Structure 1
Amino acid sequence: MKTLQLICLSGALVSCLNGCKQAGQEEHVPFNVIYILADDLGYGDVGCYGQKLIKTPHLDEMASQGMLFTQHYAGCTVSAPSRASLMTGLHTGHTLIRGNKGVKPEGQMPMPEGTYSLGKLFQSCGYATGVFGKWGLGFPGSSSEPGKMGFDEFYGYNCQGLAHSYYPDHLWHNQEKVVFPENVDNGRKTYSHDLIHRQALQFIKDHRSQPFFAMLTYTLPHAEINLPHDSIYQLYEDKFEEQPYDKPGSYYRSEKPHASFAAMVSRLDMYVGDILAELKQLGLDKNTIVFFTSDNGPHQEGGADPAFFNSSGPLRGIKRDLYEGGVRVPMIVWAPKLVKAGSSSDHVCAFWDMMPTFAELIGGTIPEKGDGISFLPTLLSKEGQKKHDYLYWEFHEQGGRQAIRKGDWKLIRQGISSPNGSWLELYNLKDDVHEDTNLIEKQENIAMELDKLMNQVRVQSEIFNFGK
């Protein structure tokens, strides 16, 4: 498949700069777009999705004022391919980046030069663009560092491996390396995410008089389990009976893992509250749409305990699984003048739908079809929402896995590179959302149909080959 390309409608750049009439708007004021992407936040880690132990008042209020999605899916079950799917509008059977592949000394395998991205889409329609947090789709100086992928400003971690530390020795501001010598040798003085969050708020302030697209890719609550012991941490410090996590040679510095994880989620919630409050303070809440979601299911590294918090909610599996818990993620959309307050949707959608949804929202067009379908009609509570014939994922670690969903049926192929051969599992999500009952023997015809479709909907990759 050719690299996905998008262009704006003829004259859209000029009309957007002059305040074009966009989808769902009565006044000629373009919508700002903020996309908040959490890292390893599970479907059940947020109060409005059923979380009982962690306080998320701002996200819960965001849901009460906006739309909550119950069947939204990440691009993959780990970071880099999930973000590549989001950035390009292609599922992992078509993206170049289909797994986490590091590049020494810092960064990941880049997307090809000329790849069309969300940043380029918004830039071409006259938007100021910024990404704040984790990038993980290239390395410094590569063909796909943020500045070459359509983002005017970047502040954060270029490398997802280095993003495991919340007290790093450096971050990046565009192409400038911002060094924190006070964090070297297990120092714990400069907490990265407060800096990243301040930069994101400043970007919003700086561009309040023009349309902007801000991606806030916080790494919370990804491991490491480590954060300031401030008032947020103190909410949980003595709430759980637990032993400190003190693995020799680790980053974690004797943290109480349950208290720390809960505080990380609540800190993320606080950041979301700050963003919404800033929009209201600046008078931008009338023409800004905010998305909140996660890049994959919950993790269990570094003392994280998804079973304790019921982080997957009613779903089976966690990060690296292609069961629902690994790929189905929370998504809340907030826009007081666009999205109906207190609404929810069971529309089945995925990361690769963001490209066409954004294009329709801001007045763009897609001449070369990707894998996504705009769900703007759902956001506007209008008729005519098109649906996917199928959703597809592939994962190249732990023996290799594939999954496909068609309607309520989901087929998973496990152990693709196993010396004993792969095997299939078939589930009916309508009756069995936890994927407990494998119907592979009782529904052979459906399994054969989905198995055939699974082989048809991907192209071979020379870089990410199952079993190699």
Structure 2
Amino acid sequence: MKRITKRNIMAAFGSVMLAGLASCAQAAGEKPNIVFILADDLGYGELGCYGQEKIRTPHIDQLAKEGMKFNQHYTGAPVCAPARCVLMTGKSLARAEIRGNRDSGNGKKFPGQFPITADAVTIAEVLKEQGYTTGAFGKWGLGPSDTTGSPMKQGFDRYYGYNCQRNAHSYYPPFLDSDEGTVTINKNPIPGHKRQPKGEVKAEDYIAENYAPKLILDESLKFIDKNKDKPFFLYLPFVEPHVSIQSPQELIDTYPKEWDKDREYRGQNGYLPHPRPRAAYAAMITDLDRHVGAVMERLKKYGLDENTIVIFTSDNGPTHEGGDKRFNIGGADCEFFNSRGELKGYKGSCYEGGIRIPCVVKWPGKVKPGSETSFPSYFPDWFVTMAHIGGATLADKDQDGVDITPVLEGAASVKRDVPMIWDFHNYGGIVAIREGKWKALRRNLLEKNGKPAAPWELYDIEVDPAEKNNVASEHKDVVKQLEKVWLERRTIEPDFPVPFVDGKKELK
């Protein structure tokens, strides 16, 4: 596949121009700051503002009260790396460079994931062209520092966190990445995977000197301190509540002990053991909520909150079931917390539970406090929207997302020319297409172990968000049309192949 060069694409953005709805203040140089907070494996039902009744999330709930709650917002992919690729580049999984989790294979310990290329254009690069200072703090997952995928080579002025997703499996890792280097944070790190079949499970046995999420938060706040007098783009892909479960003990102690009576988790579903997995999982989300509160407080301290758009969402749905059915992966209990609400599926699935995610946006003067929208939106939309907010004109009209600024300002919808598409290359290979009320889905595209692709499924999401009634046989014309759109839109990505017949875009 011939790639369009980054130089040509960046030239297409043209000179700095006022966005269509930019204010006079912005014209004078007071562009809004942009803060994008990305949780890790946070389910649709795990926030108070989305119906959660057991886990406390006061700061995010307050964000929703002061802003807009999205009822049908979708990630770009049902797992980490491809979701981040879609978010950063604005290309849907039908055209993204990364379509599944895959290591770079460069031979180092925690080397990082398969890198995006030098030609990839990220939203950080677009905003930097418009005069924004850019910083990323948290989990990257799009390429090690010695590759083209490094955040420092993809438009960020400052980076601190977990470059590699596997290093992020522990909250007490040996090191974190800082710009193009690493810093040792624990002399006695805790590996992210261990079982304890016998003996008393003690949380303190899986704690080291420095808690990585706190260090990441502290560095992000320093970024605000340093750049408070100029427009900035702050990308915060925080790691909670992705397992391992290693939350602060003072928060665990605030949740009922009876939740975990006779439920000691010994690591049998992967990741680390914990004596109180339900309380500790809830504490992870409450700790994430405290991070959001700290960021909001720092913005308020400098009077930046009135000229900052804050977007909070998740990279995919909650962690899926494991071999021991009493627990999800890592000891989580997503049924106990109703983590996915009424939805079907978990992380790794293109059913609603795997890709529909919470999203709240606060933007004073633009977004009406306490408002909600049911307009279906997803990650590629943020690339176009943030570019617009930052003053960039996207001369390249071949975008997968749409500008949802009108929705933020109260419009019921905006016109979407290209359906939302997921072309996912893990978990056997899955494709999903949503257009209007219809969502088509097909699994096992990779046809592993000689198993053919599953038949198409079709759901009317407006009346059946839980995807209980597959109506593919009753609407074959709809299925055929959605399949046609996917195949026409899809580019062949050599690094993430799907088997086709005689090179034609027709599945077996």
CA RMSD across the alignment: 2.1
Match of 2:405 in 1: 376
Out of 357-366 and 446-455, give the one that drifted further: 446-455
Give, in angstroms, the shift of residue 26 of structure 1: 4.7
Within the candidate set 209, 214, 238, 2:257 is matched to: 238
The equivalent of 2:76 in structure 1 is 75
Map 1:408-423 onto structure 2 (within 5 A).
408-416=437-445, 417-418=447-448, 419-422=450-453, 423=455
What's the counterpart of residue 153 of structure 2?
148
Residue 298 in 1 paired to residue 318 in 2? yes
Q: 2:489 aligns with which of 447, 450, 457?
A: 457
Measure how far apart 1:165 and its partner are.
Answer: 0.7
| Residue equivalent to 2:95 | 94
Equivalent position SS for 2:358: strand
Distance 1:217 1:453 in 2: 32
Residue 463 of structure 2 corresponds to 431
Which letter maps to 1:458? R
Deviation at 1:408, TM superposition (A): 0.6
Gaps of 5+ in 1: none
> Displacement of 1:228 after TM fit?
2.1
Indicate if the aligned counterparts of 2:162 and 2:168 stay in contact, CA closer than 8 A: yes
Counterpart amino acid of 1:205? D
Matched, 1:64 2:65: yes
2:325 matched to which residue of 1? none
Name the CA distance, whole Å, in 2 between partners of 1:37 and 1:305: 22
Return the TM-score normalized by structure 1: 0.94
Residue equivalent to 1:263: 283
What is the alpha-carbon distance in structure 2 between the residues aligned to residue 412 and residue 188 of structure 1? 44
User: d(CA) in 2 for partners of 1:426 and 1:72?
Assistant: 19
1:147–1:174 contact (8 Å) kept in structure 2:
yes
* 1:25, distance to aligned residue in structure 2 (A): 3.1
- How many aligned positions are there? 461
Shift of 1:2: 3.1
Cα–Cα, structure 1 residues 84 and 148, in superposed 2: closer, same or farther, change >3 Å? same
Q: Which amino acid aligns with 1:25?
A: S
- Counterpart residue type for residue 408 of structure 2: L
| Structure 1 residue 24, shift from structure 2 partner | 5.0
Cα distance in 1 for partners of 2:72, 2:279 equals 29
Which residue identity does 2:315 align to in structure 1?
D
Query: Alpha-carbon deviations, 1:307-332, whole Å to 9, x = none?
Result: 11111112111101110111111110
8 Å contact 1:3–1:116 — kept in the other structure? no
User: Quick check: 1:403–1:410 contact (8 Å CA) kept in 2?
Assistant: yes
Equivalent residue letter for 1:64: K
- Alignment TM-score, normalising by the size of structure 2: 0.87
* Contact 1:93 1:393 survives alignment (8 Å): yes
Report the alpha carbon displacement of residue 71 of structure 1 after superposing the two structures with TM. Answer: 1.1
Q: Which residue is 1:346 aligned to?
A: 374
Q: Per the alignment, do residues 335 and 347 of structure 1 end up closer, same or farther by CA in structure 2, a change over 3 Å counting? A: same
Structure 1 contact 7–121 (Cα < 8 Å) conserved:
no
Shift of the 398–380 alpha-carbon distance from structure 1 to 2, 3 Å rule, reads same
Alignment partners' CA distance in 2, 1:239 and 1:293: 31
Structure 2 CA distance for partners of 1:196 and 1:237, relative to 1, 3 Å: farther
SS of the aligned residue for 2:306 comes to: coil
Distance change >3 Å, CA 439–CA 11, structure 1 → 2? closer
| Deviates further, 251-260 or 321-330 | 251-260
Q: Which amino acid aligns with 2:167?
A: L
Shift of 1:11: 4.8
Residues 63-96 of structure 1: CA deviation (Å, up to 9, x unaligned): 0100111111101000111100011110011011
Q: How does 1:278-293 map to 2 (within 5 A)?
A: 278-293=298-313
Q: For residue 124 of structure 1, what is the amino acid of its counterpart?
A: E
8 Å contact from structure 1 (residues 131, 153) kept in 2: yes
Work out whether residues 6 and 364 of structure 1, in 8 Å CA contact, stay in contact via their aligned partners in 2: no
- Secondary structure of 2:342's match? coil
Q: Distance in 1 between matches of 2:441 and 2:428?
A: 13
1:25 equivalenced with 2:23 (yes/no): yes
Pairs within 5 Å for 1:195-234 = 195-230=215-250, 232-234=251-253
The one of 159, 163, 172 equivalent to 1:158 is: 163
Aligned pair in 2 of structure 1 residues 251, 452: CA closer, same or farther (>3 Å)? closer
Shift of 1:306: 1.4
Once the two structures are superposed, what CA deviation does each residue of 1:189-241 show, in whole Å capped at 9, x if it has no partner? Answer: 210000000111110111000000000110100011112212x2211151513
Aligned mates of 1:301, 1:212 — CA distance in 2: 37
Query: Structure 1 residues 376, 240: closer, same or farther in 2, change over 3 A?
Result: same
Native 8 Å contact 1:180 1:190 kept in 2 = yes
The answer to whether the aligner puts 1:405 opposite 2:425 as a matched pair is: no
Q: Say whether the 8 Å CA contact 1:399–1:467 is kept in structure 2.
A: no
SS in 2 for 1:183: coil
Aligned-partner Cα distance in 1 for 2:479–2:20: 43
Partner of 2:4: 2
Question: Matched residues in 2 for 1:313 and 1:248: separation?
Answer: 26
Query: Who is 1:123 aligned against?
Result: 128
